[in-house]
Structure 1
């Protein structure tokens, strides 16, 4: 099988492999967890637990493969403080290993008043900038990155994340009909590349005997809060 169907199948397999990797690494957990929106979620994804060299290296492989499969073109990688810094650096290294060597930059939370000064570190931000982060919860971090990138005279172009939760965002404590990822894509105008999404997570759980009880809980959560 060649063409779009083959590419789609490869991306889906990549997502399935990533979900399994996240579970094995203890990054994707099941139970009861309170989200920033105040919901009780049956699963929790904490990319900070990709906490050794082997895990971070493999995570970077997933990001790089997803980016290359997406066809998104960009000129500079940007890792927003804090989680985006190691993520962006690791992805830059992996892309270079695959023959796609791109400049990398990140920001500080507080401006440095000595040395080179400022809040930006690394390569100059110019051209089309790809933001690398773990998830998009409300779009706030993306908006902050957009402001930094635009202030540097570059173009915010795309965002790469590990997991798209595919659930309704909230505004003023109320659910809205779109997700944070949809907001970034449709309102802010940035392309979004996710290694996996909630639908693919559910697909994985449905095929795994040990996680069938979690499938029911996550499926019910998506039925209540999910978006396509």
Structure 2
């Protein structure tokens, strides 16, 4: 599993931005799968207008670069809600005005009611989220979109960790599977996945830094990738 031959400019800018914003951090972090990861990405820390605006620019640039053809945007609760709204604003600024919607975790029993907020779900829907660990949120979004009579078309995420997903075995234990959540969504659910950056891009960024501390981080990330990574 070698890194790409040439760095992707948008991905490199995004990695640097995420580090400067404190969204991407190095250390020892326990993941949902119970792994000890040498890095952590928390999109909730894009927590002011300037950061969110710049994040939306990165999403829009990647989505337009991927050539995705879609009719509307859906943001799954909770982190996907500001992402969908900010992306809709940025795309409109670039001449691509798209309606957007999001869901509530609990159904509202007054007012307009229901779990959906925003434009009616229709046509080809782009789901926007931060990262995927097991693909659970993506499956829930897909079911909700189909239930409304629309078509889940593609998924945009900020970071593809390129690591094995997990599943619960019949005996209740959690085990690794030989594919990532992104690969599962692509192969089994039939959606195009467009990521601003991938783990390969983070390794490229670290490789180009002269700081010895960054070199040490890169070695730890490489070791983690050798154990849990997918191509």
**TM bucket normalised to smaller:** over 0.9
Cα deviation for residue 10 of structure 1 reads 10
Cα deviation for residue 11 of structure 1 reads 8.3
Tell me which residue corresponds to 1:162. 158
SS of 1:209's equivalent? coil
For the Cα contact (< 8 Å) 1:107–1:119, is it kept in 2?
A: yes
Give a deviation string over 1:26-82, Cα, whole Å, max 9, x none.
000000000011100000000000000000000000000000000011001001100
Which residues in structure 2 correspond to 1:190-201 (within 5 Å)? 190-201=191-202
Pairwise CA RMSD of aligned residues?
1.4
Please report the TM-score for the alignment, with normalisation by the length of structure 2.
0.94
2:218 aligned with 1:215: yes
User: Aligned match of 1:34 in 13, 30, 34?
Assistant: 30
- The CA distance in 2 between the partners of 1:11 and 1:159, in whole Å, is 23
Pair 203,11 (structure 1): closer, same or farther in 2 beyond 3 Å: closer
Tell me which residue corresponds to 1:50. 46
Which residues in structure 2 correspond to 1:83-102 (within 5 Å)? 83-102=79-98
Runs of 4+ in 1 over 4 A off after TM superposition: 8-11
Tell me which residue corresponds to 1:4. none
Please report the TM-score for the alignment, with normalisation by the length of structure 1.
0.95
User: Aligned match of 1:128 in 124, 129, 133?
Assistant: 124
Equivalenced residues, count: 221
User: Aligned match of 1:111 in 101, 107, 111?
Assistant: 107
- The CA distance in 2 between the partners of 1:91 and 1:10, in whole Å, is 27
Q: Which runs of 5+ in 2 are unaligned?
A: 169-173
Tell me which residue corresponds to 1:202. 203
For the Cα contact (< 8 Å) 2:7–2:201, is it kept in 1?
A: no
For the Cα contact (< 8 Å) 2:7–2:204, is it kept in 1?
A: no
> Between Structure 1 and Structure 2, which shows a larger proportion of helix residues?
1
Pair 102,9 (structure 1): closer, same or farther in 2 beyond 3 Å: farther
- The CA distance in 1 between the partners of 2:156 and 2:6, in whole Å, is 18
For the Cα contact (< 8 Å) 1:81–1:109, is it kept in 2?
A: yes
Cα deviation for residue 9 of structure 1 reads 10
Q: Which runs of 5+ in 1 are unaligned?
A: 1-7
